[in-house]
A and B are shown apart, each in its own frame.
Chain A
Amino acid sequence: MKSAVLVFPGINRERDMARALRLVSGREPAMVWHAETSLPEGTDLVVAPGGFSYGDYLRCGAIAARSPVMDAVRAFASDGGLVLGVCNGFQILCESGLLPGILMRNARLRFICHDVHLRVERSDTPFTRGYNAGQVIRVPVAHGEGNYAADEDTVRRLEGDGRVLYRYCSASGEIDDTHNINGAAQSIAGIINERGNVLGMMPHPENHVEDTMGCTDGRGLFAGLVAHLERAA
């Protein structure tokens, strides 16, 4: 798997992401500066990592979404290329129009930084094939604006098309208001686009990939992408 990690000013999770990609795929990802107008030849996966691009000025991800490299990412996605956005990366993908909706301020107004449980809703996508449908995984979140919102029609369509891949839940997989940490519509933690090749999620799977991190539940996402690409090749 040849991956490219986008680097915007103010991003701070790009090295965590690169480390996870290197560990799971065995290949060094390319780091791609926001001012670039193209992606490296043969890129299989583009990742928008977490952080605070442009200091979260205006709206989270709004300015990064308008940077030159995003035109290349949009073209890559419309050719069917795989795109993953984590945390600020999810916000950037929403702002760039690659995913519907927006991430609003957390309902309880607090920055949330701790492990959460996620229920994997289906396993038949490139982004979830490393897991079983209904499986509960534990990964960290670190965000102040992760409260997913969209108009009713959009949310209905996301649900109807099975495009919610990850949801906040209890350790045993129950979905309820208590475990919906940021007030997101339908406890949404991660969604894919209509075509199924772009995933945005608030939690950080890249931070649970090694034993030294205390948990390896995030590995499945990356391992699933590697397996998907190997099968496609």
Chain B
Amino acid sequence: MKARVTVTLKTGVLDPQGKAIEGALKSLGIDGVASVRQGKVFDIELDGDKTKAEAALKAAADRLLANTVIENYRVEVLG
């Protein structure tokens, strides 16, 4: 089964990379960009039923994929 874990920075955590990307978008003349926050996406293939997969993905995110000091994550089982 396919799943996706999305890791994003918590609100209030400074994101210098996002700021630099925001500046570059503005210099490209792309209108209306208010702010950019950079995150990460993990596409994961795994075995087992949906409930087990969700538990495994949550463990993966908690223990490695995200640093919960500064990041939030979202787990989606895509089927």
Measured CB to CB, the residues of A under 8 A from B are: 58-59, 62-63, 66, 95, 100-102, 104-109, 147, 149-151, 183
Contacts and interface: CB of A to CB of B under 8 A. Distances in A.
Contacts of B16: 104-109, 147, 183
A102 B69 contact: yes
A209 to B, nearest CB: 32
B35 interface: no
A63 B67 CA distance: 12
A70 to B, nearest CB: 13
Interface residues of B, number: 11
B17 A109 contact: yes
Contacts of A183: 14, 16
Interface string B60-78: 0001110101100000000
Contacts, number: 35
A109 B20 contact: yes
Instruction: Classify the secondary structure of A's interface with B.
Output: loop
Given A106-B16, A109-B17, A149-B14, A66 B63 contact: yes
B17 A105 contact: yes
Interface of B: 13-14, 16-17, 20, 63-65, 67, 69-70
A66 B14 contact: no
A102 B70 contact: yes
Contacts of A107: 14, 16
A151 B63 CA distance: 19
Contact of B64 (A66, A101, A108): A66
User: Most chain-B Cβ atoms within 10 A of its Cβ — which of A62, A101, A104?
Assistant: A104
22 contacts: A58-B64, A58-B65, A59-B67, A62-B64, A66-B63, A66-B64, A95-B67, A100-B69, A101-B69, A104-B13, A104-B14, A104-B16, A104-B70, A105-B16, A105-B17, A106-B16, A107-B14, A108-B16, A109-B16, A109-B17, A149-B70, A183-B14
A102 B67 contact: yes
A94 to B, nearest CB: 8
Contacts of A106: 16
B69 A150 contact: yes
Contacts of A95: 67
A15 to B, nearest CB: 29
Nearest to B70: A102
B23 to A, nearest CB: 10
Contacts of B13: 104, 149
